[in-house]
Amino acid sequence: MGCFSFLCRRPIASPIKRFSELDEELSEVQNLKLYSYKELRAATDDFSLANKIGEGGFGPVYRGRLKHGKDAAIKVLAAESRQGAREFLTEIKVIYEIEHENLAKLCGCCVEGNHRILVYDYIENNSLAQTLLGNGHSSIQFSWRTRTKICIGIARGLAYLHEEVRPHIVHRDIKASNILLDKDLTPKISDFGLAKLIPSNMTHVSTRVAGTIGYLAPEYAIRGQLTRRADVYSFGVLLVEIVSGRCNTNSLLPLEEQYILERTWDLYEKNELIELVDTAMYGDFDAEEACKYLKIGLLCTQDNPKLRPVMSTVVKMLSGEIKIDDDKITKPGLISDFMDLKIRSNPNKTPTNDPKKNTFNTNTSSGSDNNGELSLLSSNTTSQSTMTFTDVWDRPN
Ligand SMILES: Nc1ncnc2c1ncn2[C@@H]1O[C@H](COP(=O)(O)OP(=O)(O)OP(=O)(O)O)[C@@H](O)[C@H]1O
Ligand SMILES: [Mg+2]
């Protein structure tokens, strides 16, 4: 079964239609809740700065209160990402119909004039990036039980997207900021399916949707090969972040500890994985299970995509339904190897410890591999650096 062809070329925004001209499209998307721009303006106090809760690659997000009193997260898609109304509604319909306990629920949209706005259920407890990895800016205590529940929930949501939804959905941007926590700390994966809303030649937007360095599977980063196994890789990185309570990249640490996967592999080889477990739990965790989770993280991030387990298997491993085979773990695809390759391919660029200067460009485009220009940016402690492909390709697993 083929995956969602997120990246196929399509014409950019068709001429903007008036609301009344959308009848035909609307009949195709029955049950989709359509909000008027006026309604959303009122809900967000005219999209006021005070109600802005963040801004990602798609545009700003506002907290709003809808007419009947329900809180919503209102995502205003950036001008560059605007599609024609029909196209937009068709894509939205797929996301709208997906329901799962571990997926953020899209509750409607606005397609008025040239506005393209998504309305989601408001999720109370922010993202994992802001809480668990947010350098103490959150009051949430992440106990070991809470962490296992979060890991299993994310794995279930991803298994659903990969294996149950038809056509399958490759998320492409699994990372801590796309995992929201509800009032019971149940994880909700957000932004699934959104890559499809962005025309593939919109380079600026695809910087964000094409993946986040640190979470990127090497075969996707280098050759642009996007399969469900690239999501499995990103999940593996996230899993290690959740157990260790640290971001995947931290250039403030000693060199050998900066990249989380490198560190995990190192400790695994020395049989010292326990050292990576978050000290913020003050030793109150199941040591055997925590090390097992780290090993599952290593299984998911193996360099050879075919060796990575599928997400339904990961769910079973995490919940203890099936045992993991330690002997099967091979070296992860490491970002530092990737950097080395890039530096070698670019003799004029020298890496530096200054994160602001750690920007590399390479152009390794060849044949059907379709690698376009790639640029990497890194920051001191980050799960959010971004990369740009001018062209990538999608193909089924
Ligand atoms: N449904 C929601 N409920 C509550 N907060 C949300 C919701 N959706 C997004 N947010 C918050 O809005 C902010 C911006 O989210 P957005 O998805 O636009 O950016 P991002 O996840 O940081 O980056 P990316 O564009 O790569 O996904 C985040 O801080 C997120 O916590
Ligand atoms: Mg997001």
pLDDT of residue 57: 79
Contacts for 212 with CB less than 8 Å, ≥ 6 apart: 173, 175, 234, 383, 384, 385, 386, 387
Contacts by 282-287 with C-beta closer than 8 Å and gap 24+? 284/143, 284/144, 285/143, 285/144, 286/144
- How far apart CA 89 and CA 196 sit, in angstroms, is 11
Report which bound ligand comes closest to the CA of 53.
1
DSSP H/E element including 145? helix 144-159
Contacts for 101 with CB less than 8 Å, ≥ 6 apart: 153, 156, 157, 186
Task: Please tell me the least confidently modeled range out of 36-40, 81-85, 342-346.
Answer: 342-346
Question: From the CA of 72, how far away is ligand 1's center (Å)?
Answer: 12
Higher pLDDT, 240 or 370: 240
pLDDT in tens, 134-150: 877 788 999 999 999 99
Q: Is the CB of 192 under 6 A from ligand 1?
A: no
Give the pLDDT band (50/70/90) at residue 212.
low
Q: Is the CB of 73 under 6 A from ligand 1?
A: yes
Residues in the chain, total: 397
Any catalytic annotation for residue 337? Answer: no
- How far apart CA 60 and CA 191 sit, in angstroms, is 13
Give the pLDDT band (50/70/90) at residue 113.
confident
pLDDT of residue 218: 87
Using the predicted structure, report yes or no on whether residue 316 has a pLDDT greater than 90. Answer: yes
Give the pLDDT band (50/70/90) at residue 82.
low
pLDDT of residue 387: 35
pLDDT of residue 304: 96
- DSSP letter at 168 equals B
Catalytic site residue from 46, 173, 184, 284: 173
Task: Please tell me the least confidently modeled range out of 96-100, 261-265, 314-318, 357-361.
Answer: 357-361
Q: What is the mean pLDDT of residues 286-313?
A: 97
pTM over 0.85: no
Higher pLDDT, 132 or 57: 132
Give the pLDDT band (50/70/90) at residue 223.
confident
Q: What is the mean pLDDT of residues 275-301?
A: 97
Cis, bond preceding 167 (omega within 30 deg of 0): yes
Calculate ∠ Cα 387-390-112, nearest 5°. 90
β-strands 393-394, 225-226: how paired? parallel
Residue 120 in contact with residue 62, Cβ under 8 Å?
A: no
Higher pLDDT, 250 or 332: 332
Give phi and psi for 126, each to the nearest 5.
60, -170
- How far apart CA 281 and CA 279 sit, in angstroms, is 5
pLDDT in tens, 14-57: 444 445 555 555 555 666 789 999 999 999 999 999 999 999 87
Higher pLDDT, 249 or 74: 74
Q: Is the CB of 74 under 6 A from ligand 1?
A: no
pLDDT of residue 303: 96
